[in-house]
A and B are shown apart, each in its own frame.
Chain A
Amino acid sequence: MFYWSLIIIVLGIYSAYIFGKSRIKSNAKQLDIKTVSLPTYYAQYMMVWCLLPALIVYFGWIIFENQIIQNLVLANFDFELNPTLNPGLLIAEIKNVASNISFAEGKSIEIFNAAEHYSSLKFTSTVAFYLSILIFMILGVMIASRKLQPTFRAQKSIENYIKYFLFFCSTVAVLTTVGIVFSLLFESLRFFSEVSIFEFLFGTKWYPYIPIREGQSGSQGSFGAIPIFAGTFLIMIVAMSVATPIGLFTAIYLSEYASPKIRSIVKPLLEILAGVPTIVYGFFAFVTVAPFVKTFGQSLGIDASPTSALAAGLVMGIMIIPFISSLSDDVINSVPQSLREGSLGVGANKAETIKKVILPAALPGIVGAFLLGVSRAIGETMIVVVAAGTAPNLTANPFENVTTVTVQIVIALIGDQEFDDPRTLSAFALGLVLFVITLILNIFALRIVKKYRERYE
């Protein structure tokens, strides 16, 4: 359907273009006056009025078609009589039978009939789809062709359309944010209607399994997210205590000590480190660092878990090093040269200049970089999914197995998703917490960095 409608639309707008161009030329000839705009603009005007209705039909169809057909097919089933029927599973089965994926043999006659009904509806819908695309395109062109007069300012209106389009493009970012907030809030509210928000934020037991039978003892689900927050925090602390010193010292070395040649070698290498996908770090943590941490723990007499917070944190720290170093590098470089020269001029050596003058001057920017690093560490998913544990332990021992917000989101959404189950919905509540925290950190950090830049500009 996609490819065919693409071909139809492309052919349609091409013929609209040709039609528009020849029409305006003949119109102008008849009246024997010059057109206000170049003929191409009239043709483009026709193209827009051909394309817009087609797009509206197309997107309307893909959004509503499935829903309407499903409802029509399911209308033949009485769900009140048969409470065991699940609409989702039923429609999947009907679709499979209709498309010959699973054989109709052994299926009930109702499903077979429904499948036939489904196929015929689908066929009707497809025919109607192509017809309505064609009709709407022709209608659009017909209405627009009334404007094909030499006095019509086609260029002006085309440029306005382009401007609207550009404006729409720039609002996509806003729409995305709205979409994120909307989807997180909506599902979270459903979650909080079943689980109290206080239990979620302050409870200390995370056991996201709802009893299957009523009154099943000893397995009451509980959604206290404190152990998850604590685990996230622990891994973040480990990561930042690796990334901050190494990243900061690398930045100091590169901006203050290194020769341009070393700089030109090290910087691209750090960029490679920054460009490595996080799943690769996850693999590295899993096969190399975690076994190392385990043997290291044993040599200290500590029983380290194979998926320890330390291993995940160390590797996450490595991931954040280039991030911290490049941001701090920028910040240190933008400290005015006069401060350096002043300090060196009164007899301080380089280290003293850096420690007493440059770092204090660059501190806000470095704090900003640190906060952005923290926000990355909290939101990082693949390293912890692969290398950290899944057990919600409330502990401060980095050799133990802890879990994080992102891990729990992934666990809740892998496999069967049922959007009436608090277990699935908990992912959205955790996502909301994650989004809010990282948003606050980002806004705060960006503001600090911006203020800092303004001070030295």
Chain B
Amino acid sequence: MLKNIENDMSNQYSHEKIIQLRKKRSAADRRFKTYGLIATLMGMAILFFLLFTIFSKGYSSFQKSVIELEVSYDQETLKITSDSTYEEQVKAKFFRVKKNAIAKALPDLSKKDIKLINKMFSINVDKEIKEYFLNNPNILNTTQKIFVTAHSDVDQLLKGNARRNIEEKKRKLNDRQLEFFDEFVSSGRLKTKFNNFFFKNADSRHPELAGIAGSFVGSLFTLMTVFLLAFPIGIGASIYLEEFAPKNKFTELIEVNIANLAAVPSIVFGLLGLGILLNVFGFPRSTPLVGGTVLALMTLPTIIIACRASLKAVPPSIKEGALAMGASKMQAVFHHQVPLALPGTLTGTIIGLAQALGETAPLIMIGMIAFIPNIPTGFTEPSAALPVQIYLWVESSERGFQEKTAAAIVMILIFLFLMNALAVFLRSKFERKW
């Protein structure tokens, strides 16, 4: 029997066969390693492709198209005189000035042409004309060449986002308007410049006027609420669980709860906000106060986990030293342990805030999705938030908003990057190694 096996082995594992087998095995080894490398590279490639897509779609939104107009600030048309007060100037008839200027935008325009060309300008051109006048009031009765914002359709065509060689019916601008467009371009009167509206304005129905200022301020108020609620509660909870909690069933329940809350889908927190905060407690709808409260509850587990880790990292000898000097336990914790753990807790909180900044679904649930055309000024005013603004623009079918969406994403990514950089900086600067 033993001989049999030996025979078998010598048959199966001859020298050549072993070499072959080893080749096969090392080939499999190399293959396996390559799979791993491919998977890693794929992850990286996707990341770069994602960032590239967004930046390439978004960067053009930081520019807007402007058209040069010859505006005559005629006192007859404006119905003011050189010694009118500021209030009278504000109420002057700038829309008539605008009408005249647009009618003379190009030479020899028929009535129908004027209507068409009017649609190539942004709806708020009279406000721009007015602003220019109010800044330099001594230009009364002169003719000024100023650049005013073009309509989004013109803007998209100039930036090459809209195609012109398709059927007239499918285009936003018709053939006659394209002629005007070419005339403006060839005479150098249509150009792009820095898009101040994108940073100055709140949301708008018109893509060329829409900006992120409103939603940015809304996000800021929301994040402040999150910070004011989640930071003290998070630190308090971590101190209790690390230092004071007795080992019993209730403490265990708290621990299990925190672990589970960290994995509850964010939309469920939105339902909590709607069902309890809005319907039972009557918090004001669509406000940063409610949004911040919901997001604070959502980010609390993240903050608690980070805070506990940094409290744990402080060596027990420090606390014991304080206790030995006669400090009470509360004094030992609050005077010695917490200050040393503070950088770590701050880092954790900033990471939690970064998570809250990008969260969209809960805010939609509590109604922060309403169209808010002005910039909020308080915690209890209806407002939008950056991620919700992005969602609103994604859903809008107009082409001009797609570019805005990408640009808003670029902004949110920049903020996230800055927050994370701050967290890393705090960690490396203040964290002590024991």
Q: Nearest chain-A residue to B365 (Cβ)? A: A413
Within 8 A of A (CB), among B240-258: 240-241, 244-245, 253-254, 257-258
- Pick the residue among A254, A350, A372 that contacts B33 (CB under 8 A): A350
Q: Point out the residues of chain A lying under 8 angstroms from B361, CB to CB.
A: 278, 381-382, 385, 406, 410
CB within 8 Å for A159 and B395 given contacts A167-B240, A253-B37:
no
Q: Are B47 and A283 in contact (CB under 8 A)?
A: no
- Asked whether any CB of chain B lies closer than 8 Å to the CB of A177, the reply is yes
Binds B, one of A11-19, A180-188, A202-210: A180-188
Complex formed: what's the CA distance from A349 to B329 in Å? 55
Question: Given the complex, which residues of B lie within 8 Å of A266, measured CB to CB?
Answer: 40, 43-44
Closest to A375 in B: B263
Q: Which of B106-114, B152-160, B195-203, B266-274 contacts A (4 or more CB under 8 A)?
A: B266-274
A438 within 8 A of B: yes
A410 to B40, CA, bound (A): 35
Looking at the assembled complex, report how far the CB atom of B257 sits from the nearest CB atom of chain A, in whole angstroms. 5
Report the stretch among A24-32, A78-86, A116-124, A426-434 that lies at the interface.
A426-434
- Report whether A279 and B391 are in contact in the complex, using a CB–CB cutoff of 8 Å: yes
Is B360 touching A278 in the complex (CB atoms < 8 A)? Answer: yes
Q: How far is the CB of A11 from chain B (nearest CB, A)?
A: 20
Is B266 within 8 A of A173, CB to CB? no
**What string of 1s and 0s marks CB contacts (under 8 Å) between A247-277 and chain B?**
1111011101110000000100110110111
A180 and B54 contact, Cβ closer than 8 Å, known pairs A169-B232, A277-B360, A280-B412:
no
CB pair B43–A246 under 8 Å, yes or no, is yes
Measured CB to CB, the closest approach of chain B to A189, in angstroms, equals 12
Partner of B265, one of A273, A286, A288, A406: A406
How far is A168 from B234 in the complex, measured between Cα atoms in Å?
11
Could you tell me the distance between the alpha carbons of A286 and B274 in the complex, rounded to whole angstroms? 28
- State which of B33, B261, B357, B406 has its C-beta within 8 Å of the C-beta of A351: B33
Q: Does A57 contact B (CB under 8 A)?
A: no
Asked whether, in the complex, the Cβ of B26 is within 8 Å of the Cβ of A349, the reply is: yes
Check if A179 sits within 8 Å of B271, measured CB to CB.
Answer: no
A176 close to B (CB within 8 Å): yes
Residue of B nearest to A431 (CB): B271
* A133 interfacial by beta-carbon distance below 8 Å: no
**Cβ–Cβ < 8 Å partners of B235 in chain A:** 169
Task: Give the B interface residue count (CB, 8 A).
Answer: 89
Is B271 in contact with A184, judged by CB distance below 8 angstroms? yes
| Chain B positions 331-386 with a Cβ under 8 Å from a chain A Cβ | 334, 354-355, 357-361, 364-365, 369, 379-380
Q: Are B394 and A428 in contact (CB under 8 A)?
A: no
Measured CB to CB, the nearest residue on chain B to A177 is B257
Given contacts A166-B240, A250-B40, A257-B36, whether A349 and B25 have CB atoms under 8 Å apart is yes
Q: Say yes or no: B271 contacts A381, CB within 8 Å.
A: no
Contact A379 B266 (CB under 8 A): yes
Q: B266: nearest residue on chain A (CB-CB)? A: A381
Contacts of B264 in A (CB 8 A): 180, 379, 435, 438-439, 442
- One of A187, A269, A279, A288 near B275 (C-beta < 8 A): A187
The stretch of A45-53, A134-142, A318-326, A335-343 that contacts the partner chain = A318-326
A288 touches B53 (CB 8 A): yes
Number of A residues contacting the other chain (C-beta, 8 Å)? 94
Q: Is A2 an interface residue (CB 8 A)?
A: yes
Say yes or no: is B236 at the interface (Cβ < 8 Å to chain A).
Answer: yes
Given contacts A250-B43, A443-B260, whether A284 and B54 have CB atoms under 8 Å apart is yes
* Residue-wise interface mask of A (411-433) relative to B, using a CB-CB cutoff of 8 A (1 in contact, 0 not): 00110010100000001100100
Cα(A286)–Cα(B401), bound, Å: 14
| Majority DSSP secondary structure for residues of B touching A | helix
Q: Is the CB of B275 within 8 A of A428?
A: yes
Q: Which B residues are CB-close (under 8 A) to A352?
A: 25, 28-29
Q: Is the CB of B300 within 8 A of A378?
A: no
On whether the beta carbons of B244 and A438 are closer than 8 Å, the reply is no
Residue from A169, A187, A258 in contact with B237 in the complex, judged by beta carbons closer than 8 Å: A169
Residues of A within 8 A of B90 (CB): none
| Docked-complex contact B360 and A279, CB < 8 angstroms | yes
Task: Please measure, in the bound complex, the distance between the C-alpha atom of A67 and the C-alpha atom of B274, giving whole angstroms.
Answer: 17
What chain A residues lie within 8 Å of B244 (beta carbons)?
163, 166-167
Interface residue B425 (Cβ < 8 Å from any Cβ of A): no
Which residues of chain B come closer than 8 Å to A446, judged between CB atoms? 259-260, 263
A170 contacts B by Cβ under 8 Å = yes
C-alpha gap A287/B334 in the complex (Å): 52
A182: chain B residues at CB < 8 Å are 275-276
Distance from B366 Cβ to chain A, minimum over Cβ atoms (Å): 9
A174 at the interface (CB under 8 A from B): yes
Q: Does B67 contact A (CB under 8 A)?
A: no
Q: Which of A246, A288, A434 contacts B267 (CB 8 A)?
A: A434
B269: chain A residues at CB < 8 Å are 180
**Would you give 30 A-B contacts (Cβ < 8 Å), ordered by A?**
A2-B380, A66-B282, A166-B236, A166-B240, A173-B257, A173-B300, A180-B264, A183-B272, A183-B279, A183-B280, A245-B39, A246-B39, A249-B35, A275-B354, A278-B358, A279-B409, A284-B53, A287-B402, A325-B43, A355-B32, A381-B361, A382-B360, A409-B271, A409-B365, A417-B274, A427-B271, A431-B267, A435-B268, A442-B264, A446-B263
Known: A177-B261, A279-B360, A379-B265. 14 other contacts (CB 8 A): A159-B329, A166-B244, A173-B237, A174-B253, A176-B257, A183-B274, A183-B279, A258-B40, A266-B43, A276-B358, A381-B360, A413-B365, A438-B265, A442-B263
Query: B interface vs A, CB < 8 Å?
Result: 25-26, 28-29, 31-33, 35-40, 42-44, 46-47, 50, 53-54, 57, 232-237, 239-241, 244-245, 253-254, 257-261, 263-269, 271-272, 274-276, 279-282, 297, 300-301, 304, 328-330, 334, 354-355, 357-361, 364-365, 369, 379-380, 387, 390-391, 394-395, 402, 405-406, 409, 412-413, 416, 420
Counting from the closest, the 6 A-B pairs by CB-CB distance are: A379-B265, A277-B358, A183-B275, A253-B36, A169-B236, A249-B39
